[in-house]
Structure 1
Amino acid sequence: MDKKASRMRRAAKARARIRRLGIHRLTVHRTPKHIYAQITTADGSKVLAAAATVQADIRSQVKSPGNIEAAKLVGAAIAAKAKEAGIEEVAFDRSGFKYHGRVKALADAAREGGLRF
């Protein structure tokens, strides 16, 4: 089994658990250059809030979009957008990525912004 297939298997297991909980989901996706976050409904049919390093307001604040500082900005931005949408509590879907580095920085910044996991 290759690396991507293993990650997708881990993601499917986590998403099944989150679906049974029935609460909004904060999904994270990372690439070597960028990091993306979005909050979806429990069934995944609608995106309620989104933030990424490709957005102009975040891209202008960072020197490199693929580092921990950029992930912290995305976490703070997604927390602010969630507050505007009236969302207080989410389930954290790390998409099979390890809870380390940029993924952890984004989660910590979202918690500081007021989201509860």
Structure 2
Amino acid sequence: MAKGLSRTNRRRTRVRRSIRAVANGRPRLSVFRSSKHIYVQVIDDTAGHTVAAASSMEKDLRGSLKTGADTAAAKEVGRLVAERAKAAGVTKVVFDRGGYIYHGRVKALADAAREGGLEF
């Protein structure tokens, strides 16, 4: 690991390295969590492009959510990305928590994506 990386970046790098080792060609479900919103992408690393994406900033979700920074928003985003990924033909992914602890919003998003039909 490079000298000068923050703890968060070191953790993110460590998580992504272990994910690439076990991916076996499956796309990566990557999560980014900010203080106000949550974003998720299904990324095909072999082709280098995004297959499906969703966030709490989308217009159809903004009207129905109280805020983009709670577990209810994470559940809706997880459900939405699972729906879009299945429409694109992706059912099996590897979960990239991006260095965040698997708790709260990240866990709610993962559970909703599993309920939506994604396998990881």
TM-score (norm 2): 0.90
In structure 2, stretches of 5+ residues that fail to align are none
Match of 2:101 in 1: 98
In the other structure, the counterpart of 1:111 is 114
Matching residue of 1:13: 14
Offset at residue 44 of structure 1 (A): 7.0
1: distance between equivalents of 2:82 and 2:98? Answer: 18
1-structure distance, mates of 2:37, 2:77: 10
Q: Does 1:69 align with 2:72?
A: yes
Structure-1 separation of matches of 2:110 and 2:47: 20
| TM-score, normalising length: structure 1 | 0.92
* Cα pair distance change 1:43/1:14, threshold 3 Å: farther
Tell me if structure 2 keeps the 8 A contact 1:19–1:43.
no
SS for the counterpart of 1:19 is helix
3-state secondary structure, aligned to 1:79: helix
- CA 1:36–1:44: 2 relative to 1, 3 Å: farther
Which is helix-richer, 1 or 2? 1
RMSD, aligned α-carbons: 1.4
> Which residue matches 2:62?
59
Cα deviation, residue 99, structure 1: 0.4
C-alpha distance in structure 1 between counterparts of 2:108 and 2:69, whole Å? 12
Structure 2 residue aligned with 1:47? 50
Identity score, percent? 47
CA distance in 1, matches of 2:98, 2:6: 12
